Structure 1
Amino acid sequence: MSVSISDASVKRTQQERRAITRRQILDAAVAVLFRDGYSAATTLRIQHEAGVSRGRLLQQFPSREALLVAAVQHLATARMEDMRHREDWPHDPTERIDWAIEIMWPTFHQPYFWAATELWLASRANDKLREALLPEERRLGHLVRATTDAFFGGELCARPRYELVREQLNTSMRGAALTYALDPRDPATDPHLHEWKLMARELLT
C-alpha cells in the first residue's frame, strides 16, 4: 500500500507538533522544579506552565515521576551535548585545565542542576521516584564523564591520575554548589575555583 506525499506530510507535521508539545512540557517541568521545588511540581502545575491540555500532557507522560525524570534528563543532556562540541580550547595543558574547570563549575548552578537536586532529595523517601530516576541518572553519569573528558581533551585524559581528578572535581563541585541553596552568591568568586585548579595542575602536569 503506497503512502501519498500529502499523507507523509501530515504525519511529519503531527510528529513535529508532538515534539514541540513534548519540549514545552519538559521545559515547564524543569522551570517549576527549579522555581517552586518538588512538592509543588504537580502535573497540574506543569500543565498550566506549559500551556497544554491535560490530555496532551498525559499522552506524553502517564505519570508524574516519568515526567519529572524525563524533564531533567532532557535539559541536562541537551546542555552537555552543546558544551562537548566547542572547539576553541587552548593547547597548553595548564590553560586547558583552567578553562575546563571554569566551564565545569557554572554547570552546577544551572536550573537543571537544582531540578535534579530536588529529585535526588525527594527520591530518598519515594521508592517509585527512585526506581524511575536511578537508571536515568546512571546514564546521565556516563554523559557527565564523557563531557568532562571532552573539556580536558585526549592528552590530559591519558594522564595516569586523570580519572581521580575528574571524580574529585565533579563530586567536590556538586557538594560546594549545594551550599548556594542557603547562601546565594556569585559562583565566579568562589575560592574553591583556585583550589580546584591547583589540585588538577599538580596531579595532571
Structure 2
Amino acid sequence: MLIELGLSKTTTLEVQKRAGVSRGALLHHFPTHADLLSMTINRLIQLNENAVWSEAEKLKDIADPLTRSVMTLANAYAHPSFVAELELWIASRADLVLRTALRSAEQDAIADRDRVLTQLFEGLLDQPGAEKAIGLTIEFIRGVTISSLLRNDKSHQNQLIADWIETLRNLLAADRT
C-alpha cells in the first residue's frame, strides 16, 4: 500500500480493511501508525536491491563503469520502492518512533548496502577517493529523486546526473594526484 498509495493514504484503517482483520487484531500487532510503517522497511530494502540489479542489467552495455554505476543508482532510485523509502525518511522527521525504527533497519542493512555498492562500483573501488565519491553519489541521487517529485523535468534531471558524473571524474582524478 505504501508504494501504491503513498504515506498519506496508508492509514491503519485502510490496512485493516485490505487485510480483512478486526481493529483490535491490527492494533494488537501494530499499536501505532509508526509501528505499522516500520514493518515495511525491510521489504522496501529488498525491493530496492532488486531495483538496483534490474537497472544494472538494463545498463550493462555502457562501457564506462562510472557512468554505468551512477546511472544505475539514479534509475533505481526512481523506482516506487525507493521513493516510498524516502517518503518514510521525510516523515520520520516529526515521528520519533518511525525515525528510531528507520535508523535500526538502516543500521541492520549496512552490510547488504555495502555488498551492493561494492558490486555496482566494482572496478572503481581501487581508485583513491572512490569511497568518498560513492557516498556523495548516494546523497546526490537521494536529493535529485526528492526534487524530481516536484519538478518532474527528466531532461533537467539527466543534465544534473551528467554534470555529477563529470564532477566525480574530476574528484577521482584530483585524488590521484
| TM-score (normalizing by structure 1) | 0.67
Alignment partner of 1:182 is 2:150: yes
Which residue of 2 is the match for residue 146 of structure 1?
115
1:122 is matched with which residue? 91
Change (3 A) 1:130 1:83: closer
User: Which one of the candidate residues 131, 137, 145 is aligned to 1:163?
Assistant: 131
Instruction: Let me know the Cα RMSD of the aligned residues.
Output: 3.1
Query: What letter matches 2:113 in structure 1?
Result: V
Please tell me whether residue 196 in structure 1 is matched to residue 164 in structure 2: yes
For residues 60 and 111 of structure 1, the distance between their equivalents in structure 2, rounded to whole angstroms, comes to: 29
Aligned length: 169
Match of 2:5 in 1: 32
Question: Is residue 53 of structure 1 aligned with residue 14 of structure 2?
Answer: no
Structure 2 residue identity aligned to 1:186: K
How many Å separate the matches in 1 of 2:128 and 2:108? 25
Verify the 8 A CA contact 2:78 2:145 in the aligned structure 1: yes
The sequence identity of aligned pairs, in percent, is 21
Structure 1 residue aligned with 2:104: 135
Question: C-alpha distance in 1, partners of 2:62/2:150?
Answer: 38
Q: Which amino acid aligns with 2:46?
A: T
Structure 1 residues 112 and 136, CA gap change in structure 2 (3 angstroms):
same
Q: Deviations over 1:16-36 (max 9, x none)?
A: xxxxxxxxxxxx233232xxx
Q: CA deviation at 1:82?
A: 6.2
Aligned to 1:13: none
Note closer, same or farther for the CA distance 1:47–1:185 as it changes in structure 2 (3 Å cut): farther
Q: CA deviation at 1:166?
A: 0.2
**1:173/1:187 CA distance change after superposition, 3 Å:** farther
Structure number with larger C-alpha Rg = 1
Write the mapping of 1:68-83 to structure 2, written as runs, cut at 5 A: 68-81=37-50, 83=52
- Asked whether the equivalents of residues 32 and 46 of structure 1 are also in contact (C-alpha less than 8 Å), the reply is no
Contact 1:96 1:152 in 2 (8 A): yes
Structure 2 unaligned blocks of 5 or more? none
- The amino acid of 1:130's aligned partner reads R
Question: TM-score normalised to the size of structure 2?
Answer: 0.76
Q: Deviations over 1:53-82 (max 9, x none)?
A: 125973994243233223243133233156
